[in-house]
Every structure is written in C-alpha cells, then in structure tokens.
Amino acid sequence: MSDPRQTSTGRQLELAKIERMGSYARGVIYHSKFGHVCPVCAGPKKTEYELCIACAGEAQQAFALRMDGVALADIVRFGHYAYKGEQMYRVMQGYKNADDPSASEYQKDIKYIAADALTVHYPCIAKIAGGMPTAWATIPSTRSSPKYGKPHILTKLVTPFMARKGIQKLQLQANAEKTHNHIDPRVFSLATESQQPDLAHVLLIEDSWTTGATVQSAAAMLRLHGAAYITVYCMSRIIDLDWIECNLGSKVAEGFRRLSYKDQCPWRLCRHPV
C-alpha cells in the first residue's frame, strides 16, 4: 500500500508542475485514430507505414550490425512535446546554455519534468517493463558537440532523484562524432565496464529526441555489452510543425497543434486521439 503522505506530496508536485508549465508543455501521445503517430518515438509519420522514417531506418541499421541483429531500446517514453519556436523548445535549448539569462528558470522546468517521471511515477516503470531498472545513465555529449568532455548539466539535475533508488549509475563516454539519423554503437563506450555493472534493466535518461539516433546508439552499445532490457526516458520529443505541414499535410499538423498539457503518468500509453 502506498504511503498517503507520499501520494499527497506527489500530487502537490504534479499540481505545481501544471501551474508552472501547463500553458506550454504539451502532452505526448503514442497512438492516434488516424495512424499519424509513430509508436516508438511519438513523432509524426505517414499512415501507410508502421514507423516514422527515422525509427524505421534505425531499426534496419541495428538489424544489420551483426548476423542476428542488435535490439534497440525496448521502451521509449517522453515528458512533453517541444515544438520548434515555442516555449518548451526554448526551455530544452536554453537550460544547458550558461549564457542564457533564463537558464536557471529553465532548469527548474527540467527538475519538474524529472521529478514527475523519476520520483512521483517512478514505480510505474514496472507496469510497462515488467520490472524496475537495475542501473541508469545519462547520454554524454558527443565529439560533434561544443559541450563534449564537459559535465552534463542534465546529469547534475537528475542525480538527486536517482540517488534514492539504490541502483548503479553507469558512466558512458563518447568516443566519436554522431552521424545524423545513423546508429553506431561505437559512438559510446561503457566506462564502468570494469565494475561489472548490472545490465538486467538499464534506464537511459536524455533531454531531447529529434531522430533518436544518439540515444539508440547508446542503447545498441549496451546491448552489445549484454543489456537485457533498456528503457529510455527523454524530457522532450522535438517536433517541427512546419515539416509536418510540408510533408504530411495541414490536417496532421493541426492535430499536433491542438494538443495541450496532459495531467497523466508519463510512463503509461496515452490513447488520446489526434
């Protein structure tokens, strides 16, 4: 039985998050009655295809990595959509920019998103994955990033939430530049390999997803090291409404545009129609 005090505290945090971000943090969907949502990345796709172009291509690349293929993440979940040019997108771009005068405020938003998924609703991971994580990691900046080799601000922000879980923190290191929309497990390596990490269920935490190639490359690397199950949690799914309108039509773009904040568990499938 859950502790009523904990439940009350969690609900207070959710309400505070709604008050702070409810006007611009749009809820994520993984299904639509028209079939325009990719079930892997929650991004837009054409109705006639099972996956979006990016996820389909990455799955093919992972299959070709070795004779029996390499599985990517088992489950991917997101905090919110971040539409290019809108406030949530500015939060995701600005929270790690020390020169942005709003960086500290944006980091508060990140903490709210993290607390919701990694504290209030953390036990819900077992409902979709069949068990709780045994290790966790954030994704380091690759060599193509100006922040390569520097401490990741996301790690600093989520560590207080994860420190209470009693599971191992994995240290990933970047070895190469990432290639857009290309799966390459060699981009990352496991710096904690000598510590015999428990890879039964790894939780990867990332700030944003555009094509997913970066975090899926990390997932592929962990698979090659023996990871049995991988869950990915991204703070935001980047969405370009102009791209949707040009490639999928105005009706699909309008469906995404109408989405609003959803007061729901970030780990469960949402069947809100678009």
What's the first-to-final CA gap in the chain, in angstroms? 36
User: Which among 254, 112, 135, 246 has a CA at the least distance from the CA of 195?
Assistant: 135
User: Which among 129, 24, 134, 115 has a CA at the least distance from the CA of 76?
Assistant: 129
Mean pLDDT of 207-211: 96
pLDDT at site 196: 79
90 pLDDT higher than 80: yes
The backbone torsions φ and ψ at residue 240, rounded to the nearest 5 degrees and listed phi first, read -110, 100
Q: Name the residue ranges covered by the structural domains of the chain.
A: 26-257
Mean pLDDT of 202-223: 96
Q: What is the pTM for the complete model shown?
A: 0.92
The string of pLDDT tens digits covering residues 91-135 is 999 999 989 999 999 999 999 999 999 999 999 999 999 999 999
175 pLDDT higher than 80: yes
